[in-house]
């Protein structure tokens, strides 16, 4: 249960939530959304300055559930009022899709309403033209001592993450930690996280081969009417899973290890930076915004949360999802969520 402060800290029916760090909440369950909610939330957070990387997921081609441009533009405007120089950014995907290189990625962003003209700031794909531009960042992790962070994010002076809270097939839910850890890494970093996973065909696999085109690494082939996996080529990205029309492919491996790796990458993304974070609990779906289609909603809109602490922010988001709406974690993706921790 969330512990709300007795003081109404924002003008639009918003409350301060108390965790290990302060989390601010604009409640949409009893009131319509208004862009002024962004103004109130931004006023509670520390100012960020210099060149500010605004990390967002533009949504895969065909997906319309990502955070809407109007909200992002309002955040950009508030940052510019603070004399910051923001730019919208994301990184190349590991799986096959419309965001594997900067050209297609920016076209997809434009289709979804994100451009220099509409946002009032540049749109920069942080890991370069082909997803190969990154810096190795030293961290004190249990698994990694150095992680690969996209160069434009690394070289920025400050960081603002804008995350869409939704389900996810590997982490249970996706929020701030996933947006930072997976989202700020180039494909080489994503592979380091995904390498503990691989697809596995079920006994029902008939060798139709629909999945072959989904793998740009050449890890899949059909031998004697059965799917064969080349583990030396497989990156564990999971892009092939949804391509089987009979659902005969499953991603298997050490999910706890995968989540730890992602959390340590999130630590690397914010290392040495002033960072603020916003989670949007709106248009909540079972799967993440990487799927190339619009998904049905699994819960009513809840609100917008903001904090300087990614873990407190995600915990508050999950608590709100489960609180009082008849919506439990079982409605998010399988597996159920598990704790994601990173050493501060």
pLDDT at 45: 96
| 16-75 tens-digit pLDDT | 445 678 999 998 887 776 788 899 999 999 999 999 999 999 999 999 999 999 999 999
Look at the block and give the residue holding tokens 């930690």.
Answer: 177
pLDDT at 330: 54
Joined tokens for residue 265: 């990458």
Contact 99, 163 (CB under 8 A): no
Containing 155, the helix (H) or strand (E) segment is helix 151-155
Compute CA 15 distance to the chain's CA centroid, rounded to the nearest angstrom. Answer: 25
For CATH 3.40.50.11440, the residue range(s) in the chain are: 14-192+255-331
As separate numbers, helices (DSSP H) first and strands (DSSP E) second, the chain gives: 9, 16
- What is the SS3 string spanning 88-126? EEECCCCCCCCCCCHHHHHHHHHHCCCCHHHHCCCEEEC
- Domain covering 197-253, topology: Alpha-Beta Plaits (3.30.70)
DSSP 8-state assignment for residue 196: T
Predicted confidence pLDDT, tens digits, the chain (344 residues): 343 433 333 333 334 445 678 999 998 887 776 788 899 999 999 999 999 999 999 999 999 999 999 999 999 999 999 999 999 999 999 998 999 999 999 999 999 999 999 999 999 999 999 999 999 999 999 999 999 999 999 999 999 999 999 999 899 899 999 999 999 999 999 999 999 999 999 988 988 898 999 999 999 999 988 899 999 999 999 989 888 888 889 889 999 999 999 999 999 999 999 999 999 999 999 989 999 899 999 999 999 999 999 999 999 999 999 884 544 455 554 443 333 333 32
Look at the block and give the residue holding tokens 């890890």.
Answer: 219
For CATH 3.30.70.20, the residue range(s) in the chain are: 197-253
pLDDT at 224: 87
pLDDT at 335: 41
Q: What CATH number matches the domain at 14-192+255-331, 3.90.700.10, 3.40.50.620, 3.40.50.11440, 1.10.3720.10?
A: 3.40.50.11440
Contact 329, 337 (CB under 8 A): yes
Q: What is the pTM of this model?
A: 0.89
């Amino acid at each position: 249960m969330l512990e709300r402060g007795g003081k109404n800290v924002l003008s639009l029916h918003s409350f301060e939530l108390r965790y290990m760090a302060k989390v601010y909440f604009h409640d949409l369950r009893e009131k319509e959304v208004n862009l002024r909610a962004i103004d109130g939330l931004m006023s509670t957070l520390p100012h960020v300055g210099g060149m500010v990387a605004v990390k967002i997921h533009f949504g895969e081609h065909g997906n319309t559930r990502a955070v809407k441009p109007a909200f992002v533009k309002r955040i950009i405007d508030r940052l510019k009022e603070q004399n910051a120089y923001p730019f919208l950014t994301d990184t190349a995907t590991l799986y096959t899709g419309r965001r594997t290189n900067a050209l297609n990625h920016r076209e997809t962003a434009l289709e979804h309403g994100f451009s220099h003209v509409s946002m009032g700031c540049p749109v920069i794909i942080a890991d370069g033209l082909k997803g190969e531009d990154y810096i190795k960042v030293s961290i004190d992790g249990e698994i990694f001592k150095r992680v690969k962070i996209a160069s434009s994010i690394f070289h920025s002076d400050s960081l603002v993450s804008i995350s869409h809270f939704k389900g996810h097939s590997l982490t249970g839910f996706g929020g701030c930690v996933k947006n930072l850890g997976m989202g700020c890494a180039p494909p080489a970093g994503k592979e380091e996280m995904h390498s503990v996973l691989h697809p596995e065909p079920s006994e029902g696999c008939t060798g139709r081969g629909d999945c072959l085109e989904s793998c740009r690494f050449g890890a899949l082939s059909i031998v004697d009417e059965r799917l064969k996996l080349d583990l030396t080529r497989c990156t564990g990205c999971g892009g092939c899973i949804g391509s089987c029309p009979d659902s005969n492919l499953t991603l298997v491996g050490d999910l706890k290890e995968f989540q730890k790796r992602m959390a340590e990458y999130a630590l690397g993304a914010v290392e040495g930076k002033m960072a603020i974070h916003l989670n949007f609990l709106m248009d909540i779906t079972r799967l993440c915004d990487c799927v190339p289609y619009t998904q049905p909603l699994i819960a009513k809109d809840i609100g917008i949360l903001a904090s300087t602490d990614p873990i407190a922010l995600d915990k508050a988001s999950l608590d709100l999802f489960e609180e009082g709406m008849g919506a439990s974690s079982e409605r998010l993706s399988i597996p159920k969520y598990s704790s994601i921790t990173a050493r501060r």
